Amino acid sequence: MNRPAPLPATLVPLDGARIVLATLNAKYIHASLGLRCLLANMDKHGGAGLRAQTQLCEFVIGQPATRIVEELLALQPEVIGLGIYIWNVVETTQVVRLLKTLRPDIKIVLGGPEVSHEVDQQEICRLADHVVTGWGDVSFPKLCRALIDGPQPLMKVIAGEQPALGELTLPYAEYTSEDLGQRLLYVEASRGCPFKCEFCLSSLDKTAWAFELDGFMAEMDALYRRGARNFKFVDRTFNLKIDNSVRILQFFLDRMAEAPDVFVHFEVVPDSLPDRLKELIAQFPDGSLQFEVGIQSFNPEVQQRISRKQDNAKTADNLRWLVGHSRAHVHADLIFGLPGETLESFAEGFDRLHSLAPHEIQFGVLKRLRGTPITRHTAEFAMAYDPQTPYTILQNSTVDFATMQRVKRFARYWEMVANSGRFAQGLQLLLTPGSAFGHFLALSDWLWQTTGKTHEFAFEKLVDRLFEHLTRVRGIDSVTVIAALLADYQASGARGRPQCLAALLTGADQRGLQGKRGADRQARHLAQQHGLRVEMQKAAAAA
């Protein structure tokens, strides 16, 4: 869906605004919760009147830095606060460079996870006036007050205060009606994580803190009454405090009858799914609930090495239950490239996960996030990471560079073929019998050798490629393959003609398609809504 990015032309300077809070989101559909938290606390922690002097301004990566700067300067701010994340640090560095060249008098304040660690090693931090590390809800308003009214702050790097959550004003009233209608709404019932997985920034938190539940639920209700239907919980572990999880699930379940288009996404740890939760989960209708289940690795040795505590047997049971007894969409995450993991041990874990049949396997490659304790393995396992964002692993002592490249292509093709959901039947043929990982790696290697591409495959082209691979390379008889691919193709609703199916997509089929066009028109608006839903689901799962 091509939704317009927030066009600069719509940015009208707020009367009396002296502070601009800005960030570059990964896509338009992602609304920044972090900035809204800061905005909501301007008065409470910066003093009366500061909220009215602050304007929120969101951009999207890919927009030219000069345009962004032009728009920021047109707002005539005295202070610009920028939210810095792994996905925007490169582009925002250029924005700050331009701002400092054009208007060195404007105070630039940075914050966000990317600049909360290794501050002295980053060009963007060198260019800025101030960097707030960690939480910004209290420290940003205070800093702005000082920058505007004095006395001028002396410290460049400020450790963000971390108050009890009850001292924060909740940010949800800051979502506009445009946000409610067109974007994924991020919400948080808790912050922090008690677990210590070393690749993850949240491992530094050491504990989790819950927002006071009555107040939080009242905000969810207000959002819902204003028309919000797509909620993504950013809680690191939704199923930590089961009483709270139950109440939150019940809240959304109660609204399903009058609003069947409600969609809620949660991140869960896989080995804790008590019966109270299962009973509720089982009642959610199709398409309304999505779980992101972090597995990361099934290898006990690797799990222990990276301090990830996970009961693999319980994990498998719970996944089986979710897939078999609920209608929730289940996305399971795996990470390739962890220290000590080999291609073979990863393949074993992949096959184990695949046999549990989650709806999607999100195949990630290890990244060395700034500040994460995974660096303690760098020397022992010869971990070589790309120095450019997103700092992806290039090779280590158990996986050489060439193999890493192979697996990265696998991940890309997996997204295109398996996670696209367009090849249900074809995948049945492709991934069996034996090792699903082995079969898909063979397809991946073959696709790369024969096309040299990992992007820009038209669906029709992909159907033809699969046909060729399954018949010529795998030796499966063409009648079986065509039956599977034809079923997939027709289920997809696509209208082109892959070569291998051309003879079967006969005039009669085409007439059938034409006859359906009237109904199609009628269904178009439903399809648009569905498109938004699918995009929401995909976007929600992308973190």
Tokens 């009642």, residue located: 283
Nearer to ligand B12, 50 or 201 (CB): 201
Q: Are 174 and 77 in contact (CB under 8 A)?
A: no
Consecutive H or E run containing 360: strand 360-365
Nearer to ligand B12, 114 or 460 (CB): 114
**Residue 237 interacts with, from ligand SF4, ligand B12, none (CB under 5-8 Å by kind):** ligand SF4
Q: Are 145 and 67 in contact (CB under 8 A)?
A: no
Please give the sequence-ordered ranges of beta strands (E in DSSP) within 403-522, or none if there are none. Answer: none
Does 291 participate in binding ligand SF4 (rule CB under 6 A)?
no
∠ CA 502-506-510 to the nearest 5 degrees?
A: 110
- x/- string (CB under 6 A) for ligand B12, residues 96-135? -------------xxxxxx-----------------x--x
Tokens 């909501």, residue located: 40
Omega within 30 of 0 (cis) for the link into 390: yes
Kindly tell me which residue out of 183, 370, 465, 469 binds ligand B12, with binding defined by CB under 6 A: 370
Does 157 participate in binding ligand B12 (rule CB under 6 A)?
no
Q: Minimum CB separation from ligand SF4 for residue 203, in Å?
A: 4
Does 163 participate in binding ligand B12 (rule CB under 6 A)?
no
107-111 and 393-395 beta bridge pairing: unpaired
Q: Minimum CB separation from ligand B12 for residue 379, in Å?
A: 23
3-state secondary structure 373-387: HHHHHCCCCCCEECC
Does 390 participate in binding ligand B12 (rule CB under 6 A)?
yes
Amino acid sitting at position 77: P
Kindly tell me which residue out of 93, 237, 326, 372 binds ligand SF4, with binding defined by CB under 6 A: 237
Nearer to ligand SF4, 115 or 200 (CB): 200
Q: Are 348 and 237 in contact (CB under 8 A)?
A: no
Give me the count of residues in the chain.
543
Q: With CB under 6 A as the contact rule, which of the stretches 95-103, 191-199, 322-330, 381-389 interacts with ligand SF4?
A: 191-199
Does 372 participate in binding ligand SF4 (rule CB under 6 A)?
no
Kindly tell me which residue out of 202, 326, 362, 444 binds ligand SF4, with binding defined by CB under 6 A: 202
Does 543 participate in binding ligand B12 (rule CB under 6 A)?
yes
**Integer CA distances (angstroms), 247 to 219, 244, 252, in order:** 14, 5, 9
Does 369 participate in binding ligand B12 (rule CB under 6 A)?
yes
Tokens 């000069």, residue located: 66
**Residue 81 interacts with, from ligand SF4, ligand B12, none (CB under 5-8 Å by kind):** ligand B12
**How does DSSP classify residue 85?**
-
Q: Minimum CB separation from ligand SF4 for residue 132, in Å?
A: 22
**How does DSSP classify residue 212?**
P
Does 197 participate in binding ligand SF4 (rule CB under 6 A)?
yes
Nearer to ligand B12, 88 or 299 (CB): 88
Tokens coding 160:
């963000």
∠ CA 277-278-282 to the nearest 5 degrees?
A: 120
Does 294 participate in binding ligand SF4 (rule CB under 6 A)?
yes
Kindly tell me which residue out of 5, 14, 17, 26 binds ligand B12, with binding defined by CB under 6 A: 26
Burial of 118 (0-12, 13-18, 19+ CB in 10 A): exposed
Q: With CB under 6 A as the contact rule, which of the stretches 244-252, 339-347, 364-372, 482-490 interacts with ligand B12?
A: 364-372
Residue 284 three-state SS = coil
Residues whose CB falls within 8 Å of the CB of residue 283, separated by 6 or more in sequence, listed in order:
253
Does 200 participate in binding ligand SF4 (rule CB under 6 A)?
yes
Q: With CB under 6 A as the contact rule, which of the stretches 219-227, 295-303, 349-357, 367-375 interacts with ligand B12?
A: 367-375
Closest of 201, 123, 100, 141 to residue 18, by C-alpha: 141
| Chain positions contacting ligand SF4, by CB under 6 A | 193, 195, 197, 200, 202-203, 236-237, 269, 294
- Catalog residues that contact ligand B12 under the rule CB under 6 A: 25-26, 30, 32-35, 37-38, 81-83, 85-87, 109-114, 132, 135-137, 140, 186, 188, 200-202, 234, 236, 364, 367, 369-370, 390, 542-543
